Amino acid sequence: MIEELIRPEIRSFIPYNANQQPYRIKLDANESPFNLPAAARQKLAEYVLKDPKLNLYPDTDSVELRKALSEHWTVDYKNIIVGTGSDQLIQVIANVFVGPGDKVLYPAPSFGMYGDSCIIAGGTPVKYILEPGQRFEYCKETIFEAYDREKPKLVYICNPNNPTGNIMPAADVLQVVRYCKNAVVVVDEAYAEFCDTTVIPHTLEFENLIVLRTFSKAYGLAGIRCGYSIAGPALTAAVNLARAPYNISRLSQYTAQLVLEEKDEIRKNVQYLVDQRKRLSGELEQIRGIQVFQSHSNFILVKADRCKEVYKKLCEKGIFIRIFGASPLLENCLRISVGTEQQNTILLDELKSICYND
Ligand SMILES: *Cc1c(COP(=O)(O)O)cnc(C)c1O
């Protein structure tokens, strides 16, 4: 009986299945290997011991955190919205703008939430294809054509793109924003710290531009579920219409503020991961049967002969990376998050032994 009550378009959904098995090295979710910096950890412990007020609802508007973010970006805090991860903001944006008959244009292969959030809101997802043969590069003209043809309400650009690692230059992103003037253009910059490409300074120039950021990747705070959007006043007010009250816990608001005070350490961690990405890419390229896509992020997409076997054998060794089941564009592809030097060395050694010895 329940089955028939579910909206038809949702019935075939498969709940998100993160691998929660015990592991030795976890390189499957683009998390940071760096935990909360020690100084921030100390302050968090003091906060909890003193009077964390966990019996009271948190600030529903996350004002202190938004003010800290506004200093970080030199934008008005009123133009920032904080979400329970940028995931939540993706869903909120769909809920505000998309209903039956409305289209959402987004890249493929890319992040699954763009299509899912559209379907959940009752809209029609439309993909624009990034060609594996063209190293998954974005093509402005492809987006323009799809925009003219489909007249979507939302257009997504994931920059750098997950899981392919490529970027669209900021000037091109802005051309898309200009061209798609009757749509909201959502630029998901979840990994932008790893490439220094951003369109945040342009959010006041274009009323249809919204940028998404997260604390889950470069800031190493996937565990607190905190992301945010930056956009002009009209778009920000619109997105706020469907945001859940009290959506960020006290502990998350406070922890995110603390990590913003640790700019030097975060910068150092990002540089470390960028250096390791270069090293890992270089060494992966040397392995027979592995093709490496250039990445501007904290993960690397590879195409591997005997992909499933490689994946399975790494799993057996307790090394988790990401495999892409259904997507034809990602046939034989694996995504490896960049870890610490030691983790990457172990991964490389195991990979070599799989690719050469058996
Ligand atoms: C990880 C990721 C996010 C953010 O996730 P949250 O943890 O919900 O902030 C957003 N977009 C992409 C493309 C991602 O890979």
- Region of 115 on the Ramachandran plot (φ > 0 left; ψ -120 to 50 alpha; else beta): alpha
Query: Ligand 1 mean position to 216 CA, how many Å?
Result: 7
Query: Ligand 1 mean position to 293 CA, how many Å?
Result: 20
Task: Pick the atom of ligand 1 nearest to 111's CA.
Answer: 13
Q: Whose CA is nearest to atom 14 of ligand 1?
A: 190
Helices 85-97 and 113-120 sit at what angle, rounded to 10 degrees? 40
Q: Whose CA is nearest to atom 11 of ligand 1?
A: 190
> For 53-75, what is each residue's pLDDT tens digit?
999 999 999 999 999 999 999 99
Query: Ligand 1 mean position to 161 CA, how many Å?
Result: 11
- Ligand 1 contacts CB of residue 79 (under 6 A): no
Block residue for tokens 């257009």: 155
Is residue 325 over pLDDT 90? no
Q: What percent of the chain has pLDDT over 70?
A: 99
Query: Ligand 1 mean position to 289 CA, how many Å?
Result: 30
Confidence band, pLDDT 50/70/90 cuts, at residue 15 = confident
Confidence band, pLDDT 50/70/90 cuts, at residue 21 = confident
Terminal Cα-to-Cα distance of the chain (whole angstroms): 50
Task: Pick the atom of ligand 1 nearest to 188's CA.
Answer: 11
> For 180-231, what is each residue's pLDDT tens digit?
999 999 999 999 999 989 999 999 999 999 999 999 999 999 999 999 999 9
> For 232-271, what is each residue's pLDDT tens digit?
999 999 999 999 999 999 999 999 999 999 999 999 999 9
Query: Ligand 1 mean position to 309 CA, how many Å?
Result: 28
Task: Pick the atom of ligand 1 nearest to 222's CA.
Answer: 7
Ligand 1: which of 30, 189, 217, 335 to mutate, most ligand atoms within 8 Å of CB?
217
- Ligand 1 contacts CB of residue 216 (under 6 A): yes
- What is the structure's pLDDT at 357? 75
- Ligand 1 contacts CB of residue 29 (under 6 A): no
> For 129-182, what is each residue's pLDDT tens digit?
999 999 999 999 999 999 999 999 999 999 999 999 999 999 999 999 999 999
Model-level pTM? 0.97
- Ligand 1 contacts CB of residue 86 (under 6 A): yes
- What is the structure's pLDDT at 17? 74
- What is the structure's pLDDT at 358? 58
Ligand 1: which of 111, 117, 164, 228 to mutate, most ligand atoms within 8 Å of CB?
111
Sign of the torsion formed by the C-alpha atoms of 97, 100, 102 and 108: positive
Q: Whose CA is nearest to atom 6 of ligand 1?
A: 85
Is residue 293 over pLDDT 90? yes
- What is the structure's pLDDT at 172? 98
- Ligand 1 contacts CB of residue 193 (under 6 A): no
- What is the structure's pLDDT at 327? 84
Structural domains present in the chain? 2-36+264-356 (3.90.1150.10), 38-262 (3.40.640.10)
How far apart (Å, rounded) are the C-alpha atoms in residues 8 and 28?
Answer: 31
Query: Ligand 1 mean position to 51 CA, how many Å?
Result: 31
Query: Ligand 1 mean position to 358 CA, how many Å?
Result: 36
How far apart (Å, rounded) are the C-alpha atoms in residues 112 and 126?
Answer: 13
- What is the structure's pLDDT at 16? 79
Judged by average pLDDT, the poorest of 7-16, 272-281, 335-344 is 7-16
Q: What percent of the chain has pLDDT over 90?
A: 94
